[in-house]
Amino acid sequence: MKRTNLGEFEELVLLTVGILFDNAYSVAVAKELAAQSGRKVGISAVHPVLYRLEEKGFLSSRLGEASASRGGKRKRLFAITVAGKQALDQSMALRSKLREQIPSAAFQNL
C-alpha cells in the first residue's frame, strides 16, 4: 500500500505549490521555498517530491506554455487537489492539536 502521509519536505513543497497558485512549477517552487525557508533548495530536490506528490494524488498537473527562456520547452504546472488540501488540513490540525496539549510547565525550564 502506498504511503499517504506527508513528509516534512513534502509538506513544505505542497504548501509552496499552494502559495504560487497559478504559476507552481519546479523552478518557481524551488525559488520560493529557498526564499521563504532560507534553505538551499535546488530543482533536483524539488522534482522528485512534486512527482511523488502527484503519484499520491495530492497534486495534479498540466503542461503550461512554452517560453523562450526555457529553450522553447513547456513547463509542468502543479495544482493542489482536494486530497492535497485535506492532507494539509489534517496535518495542520494534528500539529496544532498536539501543540495545544503541551502543558505550559513543559516550557518553563527552557
Partner 1 sequence: MRDRRPPVAAMRFLRWYCSPERFEEISGDIEEVFEEALQNEGLTKARISCWLLVAKCFKPYAYQRHSKKSKSNFTVMYINNLKVAYRNFSKHRSYGFINLSGLIIGMISCLLIASYVSTELSFDGFHDDVDRIYRLRMDRFSNKEQIFQSAVTFPAVGPNLHKDQAAVETFLRILPFGGGVYTHSDENGNISTFNEDKGVYADSNFFQLFKFKLLKGSPEDVLSGPNKVVISEGIASKYFGEADPIGKTLNYRGNRDLEVTGVMAEMPTNSHMHFEIIQSMASQGELYNRFPENWGWYDFYTFIKLNPETNTNDFQESLTNYLRNYKGERFDESGMHETLHLQPLKEIHLYSNLSWDMGENGGAEAVYFLMVIAVIIMIIAWSNFVNLATAQATKRAKETGVRKSLGAKRKELIGQFLVESFLYNLVAMLVSISAVVLLLPQFNELARLSIPMTIFLNPIFISGLLVLLIIGTFLSGLYPAFVLTSFDPVQVLKGKQSRVKGGVLRKSLVIFQFCISVVLIAGTMLVVRQVKFMKSQDLGISIDETLVLVSPTSIADRQDLIDRSAVLKNKLNGLADIRSVSFSSNLPGRENFSIGGFAARSRPEDYQDIYLVSCDYQFMEDFEIEFLDGRGFSEDILSDTNAVIINEVAMNQLQLENTQTALQDHMIFRNGDRPIIGVVKSYHQESLKKELDPVIFLLNAERGRYYSLKLATTDLPKLIEEVEKAWKEVFPQSPLDYYFLDEQFDAQYKSDEIFNKIFMGFAFLAIFVACLGLFGLISFSAAQRLKEIGIRKVLGSSEIGIMFLLSRDYLKMIVISMMIAFPATWYLMDLWLRTFPYRTAIKPDIFALSALITLIIAVGTVSIQTAKAAAANPARSLRNE
> Applying CB under 8 A, does 91 fall inside the site for partner 1?
no
How far from the centroid of its chain's Cα atoms is residue 83's Cα?
13
- Report the distance separating Cα 27 and Cα 42, nearest Å: 8
Verify binding: residue 51, partner 1, rule CB under 8 A.
Answer: yes
Spatial CB neighbours of 42, under 8 Å, sequence gap ≥ 6? 30
Residue from 19, 35, 63, 82 touching partner 1 (CB under 8 A): that is: 63
Residue in 9, 23, 34, 47 binding partner 1, rule: CB under 8 A: 47
Nearest-approach distance from CB 76 to partner 1, in angstroms: 4
For the segment 15-44, give every residue that binds partner 1 (CB under 8 A): 25-27, 42-44
d(CA 52, CA 75): 17
Rg of the chain over Cα atoms, rounded to whole angstroms, equals 17
Residue ranges that bind partner 1, judged by CB under 8 A: 25-27, 42-44, 47-48, 51-52, 63, 66, 69-71, 73-76
